[in-house]
Structure formats: structure tokens, C-alpha cells
Amino acid sequence: MGARLSVNNNRASTTELSEVSQSEACKRQRASSSFLDENLRLIPCLPDEISLQILARLPRISHFNAKLVSRSWKVALTSGELYKLRKELGTTEEWLYILTKIFGDKLLWYALDPVSRIWQRLPPMPKVSVEDGTRKGLSGIRLWNVVASNIKIVDSIREWFGTKDAFDKIRCCGCSIGSVDGRLYVLGGFSGAAALKRVWRYDPIVNCWSEVTPMSIARAYCKTGVLNNKLYAVGGVTRGRGGLSPLQSAEVFDPRTGMWSEVPSMPFSKAQMLPTAFLAELLKPIATGMTSYRGKLYVPQSLYCWPFFVDVGGEVYDPETNSWVEMPIGMGEGWPAKQAGTKLSVTVDGGLYSLDPSSSQDSPTIKMYDHQDDSWKIIEGDLPICTDSESPYLLAGFLGKLHVITKGTDHNIVVMQADRQNRLVSAASTSSSSSSESLQDFSQDVAVSPEHIWKVIAAKSDGSTELVSCQVLDI
């Protein structure tokens, strides 16, 4: 008995110990699972919904370092959900994106955070070889021969856009830039001597380029604008049987569907009123600018025959009627023109602004269009910039203010802001040491007017670059 009892007691003890160990194991497993659950959350001890609310309030300039915190943070910061939440919370930020050309053969994008005044370089755009632009079995050599037979037209395009030697120096040029739905788009251009249909998109959320649905027709130097969250491509030039020829056609891209659809072609009604067939054959109509204003697209136009450009007003596209009408006379005739006939403009808080380079003797001025009087009025004179072909300028509207991007006296990129202030505010204290010197040097030349003054909000030491285009993204 005793022995049996002893055995029974041992069995009972073993069973009891087994039950205790299993209980401890379950507790440990629950604790381990709880620990893993906490680690899988964006922020331990907080629901992910609240954590996303916190991450959505982080400044975009902090996202690069925040992605290094954990894999879950990186996934959250590169998700569309976070940026939808930023829109709902009103925490989106406007950044300036500038396209530059360096050494005549390389396109580089830079992004500027106007709050921190920190520049970032974007990933390089996909390379386009001459072969990518060939069509119908033509080789690059044959294409060059086609264009060579129409060298005057090619030269006029070169001279017009201030890129006289562009065809000889870069493998892809004449691309157009647009932005819609928080992304950058690069449309068409020339690869060698062939026009391209291809379209590339830059997504700042994932910081990469991708190719999207091509346009219906190959275009270079077309004009872009945005209406109702859709990107329009109008005019430009393409390669025809006889060489380069201007386009009257237009099309629109819907980022929700990722597809292009046709828009009625520009009538160029004034071009049809030329008195003789000879002039109609000699003078080619072409779009020289485009802007979105008061719910419509305004496209100034010119007639050109190398090396002459004749302004002929312009036309207006109304998306509600899906038709074109003639531009108001005062708007078309007074629209300031950049070098070689191109017309830059920007809308800020519903106002349409343009920069009038005037002549070499006069200082450039800022003009605003008055739609009630159908006239352009000077609102800012003696703008301290150079407007020759060696010192191009760009216009942008962000933070509710007008900005001019140009090259400073030291050939660095300078971003100037028009502001209603009583004194010039120096931005040097919040910039890097290299940028501070540029700001201080350039600020000495900034003119102050009674109503507006210009202040330099950012500068970038990059004297070898040429300004090409700019866009503003709000994400």
C-alpha cells in the first residue's frame, strides 16, 4: 500500500506539476502574443487609427527619417490612406518642384519645402533613347534627314523656346510638364528627331517615376493646364511627312481612370482670316501658352514663320459646352510675352498674373488681368531680375502668394515671393550657410514698392543649371 500510495502520490505530483507548467506556458504565450500585438502596432499601446492621426500631422520634411523607424511606419507613410487623411485634417503642404537642365544634356528635378527651406533632389527620370522615339521603321539617321530638309522650321522651334542648340545637345527635349491629383506628369517631347506619345508620372508618396497611358498623338512643346482635376494637353508640334508641323488638337487625362480622351481641336479662327492663301501657307498657327482661369482654359496663340511671331489673340475652352470661343480682345492682345513668343502666367487666389519682360532698357513688371475691363494692369514694377535668354524665369503660385523663380546675380537659383509687408524680411537666419550668402547678396538688389515688396525665400547654389519648368504639389 505504502509503495502503491507512494506511486500514486508521485503520479499526482507529476500531474499537478504538468498542469502548473501548462498554465505557466499559456500565460507566457498570452504575454508573448500581447507583446507581438503591441509591436505590430504603429505606436505601442495606441490603436492604429489614432496613430495614423498622429503621423498625418508630421511635416513632410520629416517623412524620410520617420520611414526608418519601422517597417509599419514606412508602409503607413507611403500609403494613400495617410494622404487622404491629411486632406481631411487640412495638414497638406505645398511644395515647389523645379525642373532644370544641366550641362545641356541632363534633366534634374528639385523639390523645395518653402517652410523649412530645404531642397531635395528627386530620383532621375527614365532615360529615353533615340530608338524609343522611332516610328514606322524609320531609323534615327533617316529621321534626322527628314528634319534636315526642314531646317528652318526646326530652327524656329529652337529659337522660339530659347533652346537653339537643344536638338544637338540632348537626347530628349521639348517635353511638357503638368500636375494633377498630387502628382507630376512629363508629357511627350522629342527623342532624337521623333516626337513622343509617352507620359511619365512622378508620385511623391512613394518617390518614384512610372510610365502611364500614352497620349493619342505624339507631341512636343505642348501646353498643359488643369480643370476639374483633369490634365489637358493642347497644341504643340509633331513630326509629319514633311517635317515638323504645329498641332491644333487637344486631349485630356483623367487620373481616376488613367485614360486620355479627345477634346475638340482649337479652331484658330483668326488664322483662317488671312487674306491670301500664300500667307495661310507661310504663317503657321501655334499655341504659345495656356492657363486655367475662372473655370476655363485660356490659350494665347500666335502665327509664326521663322524668325517672326505675330500675336493673334487666342481661344478659350469651356468644359461645360465642350467647345472653343474667341479670347477677349484685350486679354489676347495685351498678354505679356516671354522670349521668342512664349507666354507664361499663373493664377493666385483667382487672379491671373503674368510677367512682362518689356525691353532691355526697361525693368520687368508684373501685370494682372482685369476681366471686368478686359485689360492688363501693372501691379508691380522694377522687378529685379534679368529676362534675357541666359537668365530665364518661371512663375508659381503657392502659399497664397505670387512667386518668381529666376537665376540670381551669382547664377544660383533664387525663389522670390511677393508679399505685402512694410519692410524686407531676410530669410538668411533660417537657411543653410551656403544659401544664406546667396540670399543676402541677392536681397541687396531687391526693389521695394509702396504696395508690394519682394523677398527671397530660398536660394540654391547650382550655377550651371538652366530653368525649364516648375509645378506646385499640395499633398
**pTM for this model (two decimals):** 0.78
Please list the pLDDT of the chain residue by residue as tens digits (475 residues). 333 333 344 444 444 434 445 555 454 444 444 433 445 789 998 999 999 999 999 999 999 999 999 999 999 999 989 999 999 999 999 999 999 988 766 889 999 999 999 999 999 988 765 444 444 333 333 333 333 333 334 444 444 444 443 333 334 588 999 999 999 999 999 887 789 999 999 999 999 999 999 999 999 999 999 999 999 999 999 887 777 788 999 999 999 999 999 999 999 887 666 655 555 566 788 899 999 999 999 999 988 776 667 778 899 999 999 999 999 999 998 998 876 668 999 999 999 999 888 665 667 889 999 999 999 999 877 777 765 555 678 999 999 999 999 987 778 899 999 976 533 333 333 333 444 444 444 444 433 444 557 889 999 987 678 899 999 999 9
User: Hey, where are the domains in the chain?
Assistant: 1-37, 41-92, 123-343, 344-475
Torsion of CA 134, 161, 287, 263, to 10 degrees: 40
Q: List all residues 6 or more positions away from 84 whose beta carbon is below 8 Å from its beta carbon.
A: none
pLDDT for residue 353: 95
CA dist 197 to 133, 211, 216, 222, 366, Å?
Answer: 9, 11, 7, 11, 35
* 375-380: strand order across its sheet: 346-348, 351-356, 365-370, 375-380
pLDDT for residue 411: 80
Amino acid (one-letter) located at 83:
Y
95 contacts 399 by C-beta, under 8 angstroms: no
The radius of gyration of the chain from alpha carbons, rounded to an integer in Å, stands at 30
Name the pairing type of β-strands 190-191 and 172-173: antiparallel
pLDDT for residue 273: 63
405 contacts 98 by C-beta, under 8 angstroms: yes
CA dist 374 to 62, 261, 411, 432, Å?
Answer: 46, 32, 37, 44
| Residue 299 to residue 314: CA distance in whole angstroms | 5
CATH number of 41-92: 1.20.1280
CA dist 313 to 221, 291, 337, 339, 347, Å?
Answer: 19, 14, 12, 17, 19
As beta bridge partners, residue 120 has 111
